[in-house]
Amino acid sequence: MKFDMHCHTKAGSIDSKIPIDRYIRLLQEQGFDGMLVTDHDSYKGYRYWQENQPQMPKDFTVLMGIEYDTKDAGHFLVIMPDDVFLRVLQVRGMSVELLEKIVHHLGGILGPAHPFGPRSSSAMFFNKMRKNPHLIRKFDFLEGFNTCETEHANQAAQLLAKKYGKPCFGGSDSHKEEYVGMAFTEFDREITCNNDLIACVKEGGIAAFGGTEREFLRKHKKRHSFAATWGFKAYNRSLGALYTPYRRFRIRKLPLHQRS
């Protein structure tokens, strides 16, 4: 089965312009079998699909993921089991170590999105990861191909995955229609739900991944500037600090010491 494993929808990501029904149709036209919805710190896009399934295109698998903003290691793709819905994943600002502990304790998987992408949000440009590269061993996968990154960034991600023996996802990271379907991940079995996906990744069932990088324009290069990098980091950390009391409240409610 062929999936786009990094998808942003209009209903869930403020910077996406693609309604999920349109996203599905565009992928179907290109021979895809499914998608992983990975909105920023939000399940709203996936919920919208759930609530409107009768009107959605048929014969297509939609999986629930999230792109989580950590405070110290950039963006992470997180996939939880079908019966696990975590409100705390909608509150940005956890440390990468706490995120890993929570996700794995509750049966999910995670990996860094675009590890060598924008300096403001990519794991390998954060001191946490540079000083503690062994943390990569705790992740379940890396995003080895991202349409919105350079060829050099994608090659670096793939070399890192090879070094640590981690499988790779391919995802378009689309926020606009023209990038939908430009990256893919192929699985060696049928994937109908999150539990299928988690088992497949753990069992080495990724058959292929790849795609085509978008054309880089001047506006795309600006995101690597000093102002863009530190502006986003300041924004992310400020929001994370603001949400700290609520995030701590949600974490205290989690069964981190024994399964419920």
Query: In the chain, where are the structural domains located?
Result: 2-252
Sequence-distant (≥ 6) Cβ neighbours of residue 120 within 8 angstroms? 74, 223, 228, 229, 230, 231, 232, 233, 236
Mean pLDDT, residues 223-245: 78
In this prediction, residue 237 carries a pLDDT of 79
235 pLDDT higher than 80: no
Helix axes 244-252, 226-242, angle to 10 degrees: 60
Mean pLDDT, residues 142-165: 97
In this prediction, residue 115 carries a pLDDT of 97
In this prediction, residue 260 carries a pLDDT of 35
The β-bridge relationship of strands 2-7 and 34-37 is parallel
**pTM of the complete model:** 0.93
Mean pLDDT, residues 167-180: 95
Mean pLDDT, residues 146-161: 96
Secondary structure (3-state) at 56 = coil
Which residue in the block uniquely carries the two structure tokens 């753990």? 202
Report whether 145 contacts 209 (CB < 8 A). Answer: yes
Query: In this predicted model, which residue has the larger pLDDT, 101 or 230?
Result: 101
Sequence-distant (≥ 6) Cβ neighbours of residue 90 within 8 angstroms? 41, 42, 43, 66
Q: How far apart are CA 176 and CA 101, in angstroms?
A: 33
Query: In this predicted model, which residue has the larger pLDDT, 42 or 219?
Result: 42
* E strands, 51-152, in order: 61-64, 66-69, 75-79, 109-112, 142-146
Q: For residue 101, give both structure tokens.
A: 């502990």
92 pLDDT higher than 80: yes
259 pLDDT higher than 50: no
In this prediction, residue 91 carries a pLDDT of 93
Q: For residue 243, give both structure tokens.
A: 């949400």
> Residue 62 pairs with which residues in a beta bridge?
35
In this prediction, residue 212 carries a pLDDT of 96
pLDDT band at residue 221 under the 50/70/90 scheme? low
Secondary structure (3-state) at 237 = helix
CA distance between the termini of the chain: 33
Secondary structure (3-state) at 52 = coil
In this prediction, residue 258 carries a pLDDT of 46
Mean pLDDT, residues 66-86: 95
CA distances from residue 164 to 179, 216, 248 in whole angstroms, order as listed: 29, 29, 32
Q: Shortest CA distance to 98 belongs to which of 141, 46, 40, 138?
A: 138
Mean model confidence pLDDT for the chain: 92
In this prediction, residue 220 carries a pLDDT of 61
Least confident of 83-87, 153-157, 177-181: 83-87
Report whether 7 contacts 38 (CB < 8 A). Answer: yes
Q: Give the pLDDT confidence of 190-220 residue by residue, as tens digits.
A: 999 999 999 999 999 999 999 999 887 666 6
> Residue 169 pairs with which residues in a beta bridge?
143
Strongest mean pLDDT among 13-22, 83-92, 182-191: 182-191
222 pLDDT higher than 80: no
Return the percentage of the chain with pLDDT > 90, whole number. 77
Mean pLDDT, residues 102-124: 96
Q: For residue 229, give both structure tokens.
A: 């990098």
Q: Could you tell me if residue 211 is left (phi over 0), alpha (psi between -120 and 50 degrees) or otherwise beta?
A: left
Secondary structure (3-state) at 249 = helix
Q: Is CATH 3.20.20.140 correct for 2-252?
A: yes
